[in-house]
Amino acid sequence: MEELIEINPKVMVGKPVIKGTRITVELVIGKLAAGDSIDEILASYPHLNRQQILACLEYAHKSMSSDFVFPLVNEAA
Protein backbone atom coordinates (compact mmCIF):
# COMPACT_ATOMS: atom_id res chain seq x y z
CA MET A 1 0.00 0.00 0.00
CA GLU A 2 3.02 2.28 0.17
CA GLU A 3 2.54 3.21 -3.48
CA LEU A 4 -0.72 4.94 -2.50
CA ILE A 5 0.96 7.53 -0.25
CA GLU A 6 3.44 10.11 -1.48
CA ILE A 7 5.55 12.90 -0.04
CA ASN A 8 6.26 15.80 -2.36
CA PRO A 9 7.55 19.13 -1.05
CA LYS A 10 5.41 20.87 -3.69
CA VAL A 11 2.18 19.30 -2.40
CA MET A 12 0.77 20.31 0.99
CA VAL A 13 4.21 21.51 2.15
CA GLY A 14 5.60 17.97 1.95
CA LYS A 15 3.08 16.29 4.26
CA PRO A 16 2.25 12.70 3.30
CA VAL A 17 -0.81 12.68 1.03
CA ILE A 18 -2.89 10.14 -0.81
CA LYS A 19 -1.13 9.95 -4.17
CA GLY A 20 -2.68 12.17 -6.82
CA THR A 21 -4.66 14.20 -4.26
CA ARG A 22 -4.14 16.96 -1.73
CA ILE A 23 -5.73 14.85 1.01
CA THR A 24 -3.23 14.35 3.80
CA VAL A 25 -2.71 11.20 5.83
CA GLU A 26 -3.12 13.52 8.84
CA LEU A 27 -6.64 14.49 7.73
CA VAL A 28 -7.72 10.88 7.25
CA ILE A 29 -6.25 9.70 10.56
CA GLY A 30 -7.80 12.69 12.32
CA LYS A 31 -11.24 11.83 10.93
CA LEU A 32 -10.87 8.20 12.02
CA ALA A 33 -9.69 9.32 15.48
CA ALA A 34 -12.72 11.61 15.75
CA GLY A 35 -14.98 8.60 15.19
CA ASP A 36 -15.72 8.85 11.48
CA SER A 37 -16.03 5.46 9.81
CA ILE A 38 -14.27 4.57 6.60
CA ASP A 39 -17.65 4.63 4.87
CA GLU A 40 -18.30 8.17 6.16
CA ILE A 41 -14.94 9.35 4.86
CA LEU A 42 -15.62 7.73 1.49
CA ALA A 43 -19.01 9.46 1.34
CA SER A 44 -17.33 12.82 2.02
CA TYR A 45 -14.54 12.16 -0.50
CA PRO A 46 -16.16 10.01 -3.23
CA HIS A 47 -13.02 10.06 -5.38
CA LEU A 48 -11.19 8.00 -2.71
CA ASN A 49 -11.38 4.26 -2.19
CA ARG A 50 -11.06 1.93 0.80
CA GLN A 51 -7.47 0.91 -0.11
CA GLN A 52 -6.36 4.54 0.09
CA ILE A 53 -7.88 4.95 3.55
CA LEU A 54 -6.22 1.72 4.71
CA ALA A 55 -2.93 2.93 3.22
CA CYS A 56 -3.19 5.99 5.50
CA LEU A 57 -3.59 3.70 8.50
CA GLU A 58 -0.65 1.59 7.38
CA TYR A 59 1.48 4.72 6.92
CA ALA A 60 0.58 5.92 10.42
CA HIS A 61 1.38 2.49 11.86
CA LYS A 62 4.77 2.37 10.16
CA SER A 63 5.52 5.92 11.31
CA MET A 64 4.82 4.94 14.91
CA SER A 65 6.92 1.79 14.52
CA SER A 66 10.06 3.71 13.60
CA ASP A 67 12.97 4.28 15.94
CA PHE A 68 12.09 7.97 16.22
CA VAL A 69 8.86 8.87 17.98
CA PHE A 70 8.29 12.46 18.96
CA PRO A 71 6.42 13.07 22.23
CA LEU A 72 3.35 15.24 22.08
CA VAL A 73 3.56 18.52 23.94
CA ASN A 74 1.35 18.51 27.00
CA GLU A 75 -0.30 21.92 26.85
CA ALA A 76 -1.78 21.50 30.33
CA ALA A 77 1.66 21.44 31.95
- The predicted-structure confidence for 10-43, as pLDDT tens digits, reads as follows 999 999 999 999 999 999 999 999 999 999 999 9
Residue spans of the domains in the chain: they are 2-64
- In CATH terms, 2-64 corresponds, of 3.40.50.300, 2.20.70.10, 1.10.10.10, 3.30.750.24, to 1.10.10.10
**Residues forming a β-bridge with 24:** 17
The terminus-to-terminus CA distance of the chain in angstroms comes to 39
Supply the pLDDT for residue 76. 61
Supply the pLDDT for residue 69. 66
**pLDDT at 77 exceeding the cut of 60:** no
pLDDT per position as a tens digit, 36-73: 999 999 999 999 999 999 999 999 999 888 777 677 77
**pLDDT at 4 exceeding the cut of 90:** yes
Tallying the residues shown for the chain, one arrives at 77
3-state DSSP: the chain helix, strand, coil percent, rounded to 5? 50, 5, 45
